Structure 1
Amino acid sequence: MKSDRLTADELVSERGEAAPIDTAIDSHAHGYRWIILLVIWSAFTVSCVDRFAWASVAASVGHELGFALALLGSLTTAFYVGYTVSCPIGGVLADKLGSRATLALSMFPLAALTFCFGYVQSFTAAVALHAVMGFAAGAEYGATIKVLTVWFVRDKGRAFGIWATGTSVSVVLANATVPRIAELWGWRAAYQWLGVATFAFTLLCMLVVRNAPRRLVQARVTGAELASLLRSRALMLVAFAGAGALYGTLGFVAWANALLTVAHGVSQVKAGSVLMGFGVGAFLSKPLFGWLYDRWHTHARSMAIAVLLCFVTLLIAFGTCTSMTGYYLIAPFLGAAAYGYTPLLIGLYTRASGARLAGAAAGLVNTVWSVGSFVSPIVAGYVFAHGRSVDATLAVIAAGPLAGALVLAFAREDRRPGASEPGSGT
């Protein structure tokens, strides 16, 4: 008697349609997947607080430990070096071992390392711990994209959009909680509390998250399949386009405050209020564009191009603006354009990879995207420092999303079997 547990390939061959995973999700699982999303979002948000905690207390902690001011940013760089190295490894592990096991391999060490950072004494130890923390955190990305791709089909855009808000929320949480805890009980206690919180939410993930609905099991991914991702034209173009997009986003975020205060003479308080509007637009845009992906997934590439071109236009408008009213009006729309492409691009590359290879694809793409994150603050800072020109700095920043839009214009469908879409299937 044949088992009712079907692989994705078996579902394709028996039903002959492009939505194999969706057919395997029963009514109970349709509700349960939103619980999975909530738990994964919570764990991801806490892990991002671990990531951003240093920036919120770097000045005071660096002074206490005797770190040179110019070297404080080295810890953040070390974190992202480890993160970038880990991303493709974590993606492959998610496809080979499953998302649940990979999340455990990523987040339990992150919890322990974050806790241990509270005992650091030397600059060398601080940099080394941050690098290893980044390495631990990087594997989470591919595992998360994998599990969401498997559980969400018709509304995966919304799932990606909601999950991606974790980065925005974590910035607020890190700045609202870590300095306050550090002030009351010391920065070492703040990191220890973060380690405990990360452990608790990781444990919750292990109790709640399942790799796939109960009627769906996926065959073991082969090395040849993983290697084939490098030959996917659509996947690689989305990776390069996203690098350009993030180049623009991170370049603006890194220098927006300085552009307003140094070049335009805006006070720190007013600059902060402008960037709060930017953050609100960024937060709201991710689920909004995720919903648009679900509604018009066949036009996702065109929508992503339009968002990136709007990003370029709004950067130019921000640079030429001369009034506070103008800044307040532009900032929310600029924030929406600077982050709204995220669920669209995730939808595009998971469509190109299919659910079976979604973890490896996420790790590969995120590694390429990280290059834009590394480069842009350095390049924009160099241009700004050698002329204090807002127009020139924003022009350099805008070159990233413009290049991303041009790259996406050459992308075409490259969809694998099992790469289901919203509205497909029965």
Structure 2
Amino acid sequence: MLLLCWLAFTMTSVDRSTWGPASVFVGEDLGVPLASLGVFATAYYIGYVCSNAMTGVLSDRFGGREVVTASLSGAGLFMIVFGSTTSAVVGVSVQAVIGFFAGADYAAGIKLIASWFQPKDLGKAMGLFTSATSLGTVIANTVVPWMINHYSWHASYRLFGALSIVTAITCYVILRPGPVVNQAHRTHDQKRPSAWKTLITNRDLMLVSLAGFGGFWGTYGFVIWSNALLIEGHGVSGTAAGFIVAVFAGTAVVGKPLIGMLGDKINSARKPAIVILVLFAGILVFFGTLDHVPTLLIVAPVLGLVGYGYLPLLVAMIPRLVSSDITGRAAGATNAFWQVASTLVPLAIGAVFAATDSFLAAFCALSVGPLAGAVILYFVNENGGNKADPGSRSESEKTLSH
């Protein structure tokens, strides 16, 4: 079940990452100038953030399997549609639809995984699950250039779209909710508040959301701006800058599961997350002082390890902080809030660099996010006043047992 959730998330991550290596060629075909290509990515992320905020509700109501299937099917279908588009206006609209469908997979995957793993084992599970985003970037940046050289950018979108639909069918046939139930601790005479009120008044969940916002500020600020900062600030070639960022992201494919396992080993996700966020902030500042490519390449994998390593730990905390019946809402809402950081940080770092013309100043501004996240996380009770009921079983599991 974990591997299928991971495969589904990998496919939606590949779908998202296909735009990067294909964008220039799409622009040439559709007559879109280079400066305007960002509109396609913006449209995608608008759909993605809206989906994260909304479809967690569907995961809680209809089940993770159904939402994963719809997510992959819809994203795959519109990937194929985008591969056949000849209009820039239509292309932008289709990207928004792809983003909306692809964004639904995250919350549904977390809900399913949390139903199969005890809270004490969620670190390793979420470590593998979240490694999908990094692996998707690696796959897209490896396969898409080859597809373009031998066929066309259209072929890459059609290929990944078809694979997404095949994965959707596989998930629908095999995926099932598990027996693990987590219930919020409350006395018998207390009435259950509405789901959204429960989330908003959950102090620890709100703090984790703020901490993740700070982490994403550093991570995606680096991913979005590092190429330009390296080229403009230090005169690094475009090829070398791209390779440095690839090393940064590639490290996370292995690093996320290992860090998740560490959290399980010490029976805490909060403590290692705080350490990692502090290290992330410090290494960002240190990275900003470097100016030689060999040194940058040495530091990049270490930066990638801490730059992504906090994520599986934060994700593992979410099912521990809320009841199983609202895990989808919690996962979707927190990720939507985290993604807002990735839309704001490009503007902030651009303004800092424009005002100071300083590579170091830009990286100091990036480091503020993870440092603030570490401070916020210090005040989180990762058990959240909830109690896991490992012996509880879903109704379907009870029926099967009888």
Q: TM-score over 0.5 for the alignment?
A: yes
The match for 1:375 is 344
Matched letter for residue 388 of structure 2: G
Cα deviation digits, residues 332-381 of structure 1 (max 9, x gap)? 11101100001110122221113332111101111110111111122112
Matched, 1:142 2:107: yes
Q: Percent identity?
A: 38
Matched letter for residue 343 of structure 1: P
The match for 1:331 is 300
Matched, 1:408 2:359: no
Q: How does 1:25-424 map to 2 (within 5 A)?
A: 36-153=1-118, 154-213=120-179, 224-298=194-268, 300-412=269-381, 413-418=383-388
The answer to whether the 8 A contact 2:48-2:102 is kept is yes
Matched letter for residue 99 of structure 2: G
Structure 1 position 420, deviation (Å): 6.2
Q: Distance in 2 between matches of 1:416 and 1:112?
A: 40
Q: Distance in 2 between matches of 1:280 and 1:273?
A: 10
Question: Alignment partner of 1:46: what SS?
Answer: helix
Cα deviation digits, residues 19-64 of structure 1 (max 9, x gap)? xxxxxxxxxxxxxxxxx11122122111111111111111122012
Question: Alignment partner of 1:417: what SS?
Answer: strand
Cα deviation digits, residues 73-127 of structure 1 (max 9, x gap)? 1111111111111113221111111101111222211111111111212221111
How many matched pairs? 381
Structure 1 position 280, deviation (Å): 3.4
Structure 1 position 385, deviation (Å): 3.3
User: 345-354 vs 332-341, which deviates more?
Assistant: 345-354
Normalised by the length of structure 2, the TM-score is: 0.90
Task: Quickly say closer, same or farther: Cα 1:112–1:276, change in 2 above 3 A.
Answer: closer
Q: Distance in 1 between matches of 2:348 and 2:45?
A: 17
Q: Distance in 1 between matches of 2:161 and 2:10?
A: 13
Task: Quickly say closer, same or farther: Cα 1:242–1:281, change in 2 above 3 A.
Answer: same
Normalised by the length of structure 1, the TM-score is: 0.85
The answer to whether the 8 A contact 1:354-1:415 is kept is no
Q: Structure 1: which 5+ residue stretches go unaligned?
A: 1-35, 422-426
The answer to whether the 8 A contact 1:354-1:419 is kept is no
Cα deviation digits, residues 250-301 of structure 1 (max 9, x gap)? 0011111222222112223333343343233322220111101111233x22
Question: Alignment partner of 1:210: what SS?
Answer: coil
Cα deviation digits, residues 297-323 of structure 1 (max 9, x gap)? 33x222211111100100011011233
Matched letter for residue 239 of structure 2: V
Matched letter for residue 330 of structure 1: V
Q: Structure 2: which 5+ residue stretches go unaligned?
A: 184-191, 392-402
Question: Alignment partner of 2:284: what SS?
Answer: helix
Q: Distance in 2 between matches of 1:182 and 1:86?
A: 30
Question: Alignment partner of 2:194: what SS?
Answer: helix
Matched letter for residue 377 of structure 2: L
Q: Distance in 2 between matches of 1:403 and 1:58?
A: 34
Matched letter for residue 379 of structure 1: A
The answer to whether the 8 A contact 1:353-1:415 is kept is no
Q: Distance in 1 between matches of 2:13 and 2:389?
A: 29
Matched letter for residue 208 of structure 2: V
The answer to whether the 8 A contact 1:119-1:188 is kept is yes
Task: Quickly say closer, same or farther: Cα 1:276–1:82, change in 2 above 3 A.
Answer: closer
